Every structure is written in C-alpha cells, then in structure tokens.
Amino acid sequence: MTPEALIETKDLGFSYGDRSILKGIDITMSRGKVIAIMGGSGSGKTTLLRLIGGAIRPSSGYVKFAGKIVHEQKRDELFQMRRKMSMLFQFGALFTDLSVFDNVAFQMREHTDLPESMIRDLVLMKLQAVGLRGAHDLMPAELSGGMARRVALARSIALDPVLIMYDEPFTGLDPISLTVIGNLIRRLTDALGMTSIVVTHDVQESLKIVDYVYFIADGVIAAHGTPDEVRGSVAPFVHQFVHGEEDGPVSFHYPAQAYARDLKLEGSFA
C-alpha cells in the first residue's frame, strides 16, 4: 500500500517579476517521511517552502496539501490549512523577553482556549520531547545556540502540526549540536507521526536522517533519490553537490552582465 501523499506539486512555477525562479517542479512527499530539498544558494528552496505554505501564489501549476490545492483555498480555509503546518524559517528566533516556557506556550495561548493547567502539561511534554524540560525557566539569552534551536523546535510542535518545514536548520551550529538537531528532527517526525521537509545545503548531515532528497537547479528538480542513491550517484550534478566540488554543472557565478561592462571596460568612453 502506498501511503497517501501529503504534498504534491505539479508543474509548479514561480517568478519574481519577469525573473523566473521555479520553472516546473514536480514533487511528491509521502506522510511520515523526512524529505530534504537541496540546491545552491538562490536556487529557490525558500521560495518552494513559501509556495507550499501558501504565502505566495504560483505563476504556474499548483501545490496540493492533503489533496487540496493550496492557492485555491479561501482565506479561512488557508488559515485552517496553515495551522497544520509549521515553518521554521532560518530557525525562527525566540521571543527574547519570554522564558523558554512562555515561548513554547505562546501559540497555545494565542490559538486555543485551553486552561492554563493543561497548557502547562502540554508545554512540559513538548520540552520533554526535545530534552529541555528542565530548562523551562531559563531565558533565551541563557541558552546555547543548539538549545535555542531545540526550544524553537518545541515551539514549532506546540500545535501538533502534521508538517514541519525547516529552512536551513543546521546553519551556524557546531558539529555536535548539528548532529543533535538532525537526530531530533528525525525522532520527532517518527514519534509524532509528522512529515518534515528540511531545506539545507548540508548534504552530509541530512543524508544521515532523511528518507528522500530532491535537488533543485535552474528552477527544476535536477535529481532525486534516496540517500543511498544520492551517495552512489555518478550524475555530475549530484556528485558535485555531495562532494562539495567547486567546479561542475552548478555554476559558481550568479547570472551577471558581461564582466567587462561591469568594470566599465567597454561601452562609451565619450
């Protein structure tokens, strides 16, 4: 039995003005999986997450979430849909003037009518899930970078989302914290029966924890496969990415006008 797809994109395109960023993305994400989206800086990874979350409208194609086309939802339907998704953009900063406890409780207090005694139990459960129940009284300034991210994780699961999207969860972490966060993403996904999308350029770390990888390049899915398939791939693009080589099909240069023109070595000298 194939589990029903949680997310499906079809011919998904997006442009900023006349600059086309995504040019026809076809992706299927099954429930219960951890999926990585990889690609160079500026390849459109964050844009893809924003399309999935309905923050921006596609210029072609669609995103389906649990069988419904995201951009066709009415305002309150979209609101309901978004409550099932949690997005950690650049690993959402904590409210610095609120304790760890209050950071995690914030959305529960905003979005539910639960009594404070129940919120307390739920917050401690979420903190327990990330190993920080004992830290509930601390202020964000007292946390290490890795701990702050775990609190952000606890906060992101506060309303029991079915989908969590992590944008660059590993950026700026030391190697140990990075492994802790990676393993936590995997364990939480499994334990809570969620689906996770991890946008990252950290290939080695994500290959350890994900079920499937999509590579974006030039606005399309350039390659995709399981971690084993990715590691064993001889496709030049994948090889370059996995082995962090500077030269290969992924160009180092952002599209630019002729260098000579930028340096004013050509054109009018009048």
Contacts with ligand ADP, residue ranges (CB under 6 A): 16, 21, 39, 41-47
Asked if 92 is part of the footprint of Mg ion (rule: CB under 5 A), the reply reads no
- Whichever of 102 and 202 has its CB closer to Mg ion, that residue is 202
CB of 81: closest distance to ligand ADP in angstroms? 21
42 binds, among Mg ion, ligand ADP, none (CB under 5 to 8 A by kind): ligand ADP
- Taking the alpha carbons at both ends of the chain, their separation in whole angstroms is 72
CB of 49: closest distance to ligand ADP in angstroms? 8
169 binds, among ligand ADP, Mg ion, none (CB under 5 to 8 A by kind): none
Asked if 46 is part of the footprint of Mg ion (rule: CB under 5 A), the reply reads yes
CB of 250: closest distance to ligand ADP in angstroms? 12
47 binds, among Mg ion, ligand ADP, none (CB under 5 to 8 A by kind): ligand ADP
95 binds, among Mg ion, ligand ADP, none (CB under 5 to 8 A by kind): none
- Whichever of 43 and 177 has its CB closer to ligand ADP, that residue is 43
- Whichever of 136 and 201 has its CB closer to ligand ADP, that residue is 201
Q: Which residue is nearest to Mg ion (CB)?
A: 46
Contact residues for Mg ion, defined by CB under 5 A: 45-46
